[in-house]
A and B are shown apart, each in its own frame.
Chain A
């Protein structure tokens, strides 16, 4: 049984009258770490419904949101719940959203997301005309020193920080293809957001906000959600009675209405580092991804470096750091290796990631990897060819302790593999888990371990029958 046209997000082939009823919902419960919205039982929930949020910084006029993540950094976890059942859950959401943003076109990043999400990630040749790069959408204070545009800088007064938005379709992969028929569901539907908070320690810097002043004491560099700003702008769609009744009769039928949708399963793991090395040392790490019995479209990987001090990192905790000697990986699915040989060509890895995301990755080569930066004639692969040039500061004296653009180098190194084919959502995973074998190499300059998150895009099913929702495992 196919999904009714009204629940799909693509344009409908037939013309119909649609009524949009927008409600501005305030959270039922809210504190610094959690909020819950309860949706009304009417119409069809539009996947473009939007949550508005803003962040309060401990010190005004010096902080921006993590450059490639923006307001998504505020969300730790998002849960869509119907009754007591969890329909969709996105864990480690900030890193997931950062990866998704990497395949947006530079134009969309600059001209849409900078306004709606507070991101700052398009680059251009450096004004110094030295063959290197810098951020594009910034104001030049002096040669080699920029400051962010006013509309991206955070305040410490409720209601005065810039207000940004996140669509439900960004929070939950399921809502990219499906709109929820709330009028057919008897149980209460709720959206739960778990917020990140940033404490005033060096290890917490960049979790929610990046303070563009390294000279400032860490204890005042805090960030938290502005509770007064949080709203859900909820669009409920209603079509003609015929169309609504058609969906209703489907949901009341013997079989019920079965809706396949995409969900994300997050697997967190760790690659240990090795410090004080004289010669590069490789280590092989084998990790299982527990998605047995599921149908998997793609797997994405994010590798956050285990820095002790995050004060100087423009990407904050959402950085996925490349190794100086490229990470080499092989993936085993249903007892068969996916690649003919392990993947270690950084450009090809970017191509595989693009295939998994269904769009080309749009970051500079020196942002994706350190391939153009390191000296291949040197066994330690030391960096001899920096990609970025310049600094960015903020506040009354932007030159006080600005952050180096070089912290962006190799900070968008994602992995991905795509299993989809025409007519097939993905590959059926047998009882044996997917196995990812990674060879990491630490060097004298890079002995840092990585916190790794694998995101498996899997197909699940939701059935609506007589107002009751059932969800597959």
Chain B
């Protein structure tokens, strides 16, 4: 099929609110439709555009700009209000559902923000956060305070939607001989999940949390002027006629699915039914359960398992001792346990686990840009300056110390990339840690990347997972 030209398309939501989209304002769902047309959609060009604004919990509600500074916030102040600096404005999207106009669901990504909280820092360097990512996602920064500072005013954004389908390189035929058009539904996350404070650090890298005060007064965010932009490729006349006629064809794409569970003991095996036949990789990230949807904590933190210490106020890392990946009761694909106890107890990089985690997100041999370092994970400065600089770079210019990018993951089929069948076989992960039994519930967010096939025919559309 020959392509004749490219079109720059932009659509508005089909459910416009009276004001802005916001969780607090009762408009948490955004729906877009991409019409059935004899054109090809370039999924990687798709962007969500709009403006983002955070509003302070002052009384009465005010629209004055925030004043995120290093000064400690006082009651009714507009200081200490931030969103996660690694996920940025995408943290407002809790769930993304992509379906055809005939309501056949192609992909649903739940807890989208926590997915990005692992994927983005593993694949982007400090400079990427402060430069490349930030141009289109102004809340992106390597330090949380810098992200907060950028949000003092209402800002515009233009962010990619990183689902499996939309990250693919295959063009999506939108016509009758294709998916018959697409619809995209975004469910916004709760204000208490999106918004929290930021940190400043003293000379010993001890953090002081800047958090709007009192946090339960309820800072909130708004999204306005939302549009969805994308590129369409227009085939020649023959190609357009082909796309208009009902016919049979197929399209392969990756999908991201999410499962939620809780771990509350030092030796626990989680068994999950993935239900996917071409499973490429799985990764897990963790957060103490009481820190989710809690203004006082960052709901997108990706630290280690944490012990509550009985109070849940100042949790401490519960070192991961051992990980075992299981398929149908057998160790798979690693026929051994990933032993990382010694490194963890010495607060050194748990390399064996980290490499598998990275490999589950991006092939390790292509791993070249990352925020992950001994400074972010262990608080050890490993970066030195340009050769002419006599001393290491001032650590205030580095990413937040000890803001970990921790996770557990495995790539099942890094060579052939066909994937592994988990339709009739369960997936399991055994986590042996220093978690205090029954006292410290930690949430596990599991993300599964699998290859799907979409088949279209005059009878309709079918998706084979």
Contacts and interface: CB of A to CB of B under 8 A. Distances in A.
B145 interface: yes
B146 A131 contact: yes
Residue from A126, A136, A376, A421 having most chain B Cβ neighbours under 10 A: A421
A279 B464 CA distance: 60
Interface in B148-170: 148-159
A309 B150 CA distance: 30
B156 A340 contact: no
Given A346-B156, A377-B65, A351 B47 contact: yes
B202 to A, nearest CB: 10
Interface stretch (A54-62, A355-363, A440-448): A355-363
B371 to A, nearest CB: 13
Contact of B138 (A125, A134, A151, A347): A347
A271 interface: no
B211 to A, nearest CB: 15
B125 interface: yes
Contacts of B135: 347, 350, 360-365, 368
Interface stretch (B1-9, B90-98, B313-321, B373-381): B1-9
A130 B131 contact: no
A227 B386 CA distance: 30
A316 B101 CA distance: 52
Interface stretch (A1-9, A218-226, A232-240, A422-430): A422-430
Contacts of A107: 125, 127, 369
A129 B71 CA distance: 12
Interface in B107-144: 125-128, 130-132, 134-138, 141-143
Contacts of A48: none
A123 B3 CA distance: 41
Residue from B156, B369, B389 having most chain A Cβ neighbours under 10 A: B156
Contact of A129 (B138, B145, B154, B157): B145
Given A127-B397, A421-B5, A350 B149 contact: no
B138 A371 contact: yes
B155 A371 contact: yes
B120 to A, nearest CB: 14
B166 to A, nearest CB: 15
B150 A149 contact: no
Given A127-B394, A340-B9, A422 B146 contact: no
B465 interface: no
Contact of B152 (A133, A361, A367, A384): A384
B3 A385 contact: no
A455 B110 CA distance: 43
Contact of B6 (A134, A140, A340, A418): A418
Contacts of A269: none
Contacts of B231: 355
B6 A423 contact: no
Contacts of B425: none
B130 A348 contact: no
Contact of B128 (A106, A132, A424): A106
A345 B146 contact: no
A289 interface: no
Contacts of B398: 124-125
Contact of A338 (B8, B130, B388): B8
B465 to A, nearest CB: 29
A351 B158 contact: yes
B388 A149 contact: yes
A399 to B, nearest CB: 18
Contacts of A340: 8-11
A180 interface: no
A374 B65 CA distance: 10
Contacts of A228: none
A360 B200 CA distance: 30
Given A348-B49, A424-B4, A126 B397 contact: yes
Contact of B131 (A106, A149, A339): A106
Contacts of A418: 6
A388 to B, nearest CB: 11
B43 to A, nearest CB: 14
A341 B5 CA distance: 19
Contact of B396 (A127, A347, A355): A127
A372 to B, nearest CB: 5
A63 to B, nearest CB: 18
Contacts of A26: none
B10 A347 contact: no
A457 B9 CA distance: 22
A422 B234 CA distance: 10
Nearest to A338: B8
Contacts of A376: 65, 153-154
A131 B63 contact: no
Given A340-B9, A351-B47, A364-B130, A377 B396 contact: no
Contacts of A367: 131
Nearest to B131: A362
A375 interface: yes
B134 to A, nearest CB: 4
Interface string A129-147: 1111110110110000000
A105 interface: yes
A131 B197 CA distance: 13
B142 A125 contact: yes
A436 to B, nearest CB: 14
20 contacts: A105-B127, A106-B128, A107-B127, A107-B369, A123-B127, A123-B130, A125-B141, A125-B145, A125-B398, A130-B69, A139-B389, A340-B10, A348-B47, A371-B156, A373-B153, A376-B65, A421-B5, A421-B233, A422-B3, A422-B233
When A and B form their complex, which 3 residue pairs have the shortest distance between CB atoms, in order from nearest?
A: A131-B149, A106-B127, A347-B158
